[in-house]
Amino acid sequence: MKAVSFDRYGEPRDVLGVTDLPVPEPGPGQVRLRIRLSPVNPSDLLYVRGHYSGVEEHFPSGAGFESVSIVDKLGPGVEGLTVGQRVFAHNPDGGNWAQYAVVPTLLVWPVPDDIPDEQAAGFMINPATAILMVRHVLAVPAGSWLLQTAAGSELGRMIIRLARHDGIRTLNVVRRPEAVGELKNLGADEVIVSTDGPIDEQVRKIVGEAGVDHALDPVAGPTGTEVFRSLSENGRMLLYGSLTGQGISVGADPRLTLSGRRTLEVFWLGYWLPRLSQLGLTMAGLIEEMSTLIRAGVLENSPGERFGLEEVVAAVVEAEAVGRKGKVLIVP
């Protein structure tokens, strides 16, 4: 079979390549999947760069955490799945950018028949992240302001639609002025451009001096610092990425560190999925919640360009192109 792999961390365009490998055999508690579609997510590229926590370093390594697939073979003792069944699979070590992959049965879930492949391919990372952050971890109440950066991303757009569905007002930060109209048409309440001035100053002109109670940021660095400064005295902020590769300066302003109860938390999907019970959820309940909102168009991924395995370099370049629309998909 053919599979995308890399033998060192680095820029994806420089280190990713396609290799010929034996078709893997599933062991006890595993299934072999024939991959149909796999998205290119920011987490995939962070992993290739060596910036993704939770995955043990090993080379050569496969890439691609998500896929919609067909069950091709069951390992010994596997129950509850059948050969030929369409499933969503999370590959915790990477490796779904391939024609076949072997994954633990516990990370394979049947996909409802009415969810198309383009949506099922990215069934977990974006939809689950949006639901868990907005509805369950921050638990943003209807009528409140939710501030988010990287609002023009596929996940950012998904959060705008979810917030509008739930009656939450969104204040969205973008880098490109031309994205303002796009997000307004999508349902964003307010959109600000980061180059127009400090984010916290722009936020308070809109919501008032008290600031916002809830914020989401995958950027970190100076952007994340300005988002933290936008919080109300009891505000909560979830940091779910570090696109800048930099940290957040929480103690730079004594007025923020010596008053109030502002909270900065890290959100990592890999932490919460095994701990759904702490949020009053089950995996079956989360899948049904996601499926209902995907059917309604709320948590729908916008399909982008498709690339074969041999075009993986072009795929990762397109996935990070400024102004790109839609989720890039790998078609093994």
pLDDT tens for residues 271-329? Answer: 998 999 999 999 989 999 999 999 999 998 888 899 999 999 999 999 998 777 788 99
Query: Does the bond joining 60 to the residue before it have cis omega, within 30 degrees of 0?
Result: yes
pLDDT of 31: 98
Lowest mean pLDDT among 4-8, 140-144, 244-248, 276-280: 244-248
pLDDT of 330: 97
- Cα 159 to its chain centre, rounded Å, is 11
CA angle 98, 31, 46 (to 5 degrees): 45
Q: Which residue type is seen at 127?
A: P
Over residues 89-138, the pLDDT tens digits come to 999 889 999 999 999 999 999 999 999 999 999 888 899 999 999 999 99
Torsion angle, CA of 72/312/153/113, rounded to 10 degrees?
-20
Over residues 18-29, the pLDDT tens digits come to 999 999 999 999
| Domain locations in the chain as residue ranges | 2-122+302-330, 126-271
Over residues 238-266, the pLDDT tens digits come to 999 887 878 788 766 667 766 788 999 99
Over residues 201-228, the pLDDT tens digits come to 999 999 999 999 999 999 999 999 999 9
Q: Where are the beta strands (DSSP E) in 8-144?
A: 17-20, 30-39, 61-62, 66-74, 86-90, 100-104, 108-110
Checking if the pLDDT of 141 tops 70, the result is yes
CATH topology of domain 2-122+302-330: Quinone Oxidoreductase; Chain A, domain 1 (3.90.180)
Checking if the pLDDT of 83 tops 80, the result is yes
Bridge partners of 19, per DSSP, are 3
CATH class for the region spanning 126-271: alpha beta
Of 122, 172, 43, 178, nearest to 299 (Cα)?
122
pLDDT of 322: 78
* DSSP symbols for 221-253: HHHHHHHHHTEEEEEEEEE---TTS----STT-
pLDDT of 252: 64
pLDDT of 160: 98
Q: Residues 6 or more apart from 44 whose CB is under 8 A from it?
A: 63, 64, 65, 94, 97
pLDDT tier, 56 (very low <50, low <70, confident <90, very high otherwise): confident
Checking if the pLDDT of 10 tops 80, the result is yes
Over residues 32-42, the pLDDT tens digits come to 999 999 999 98
pLDDT of 51: 82
In whole angstroms, what is the distance from residue 148 CA to residue 224 CA? 10
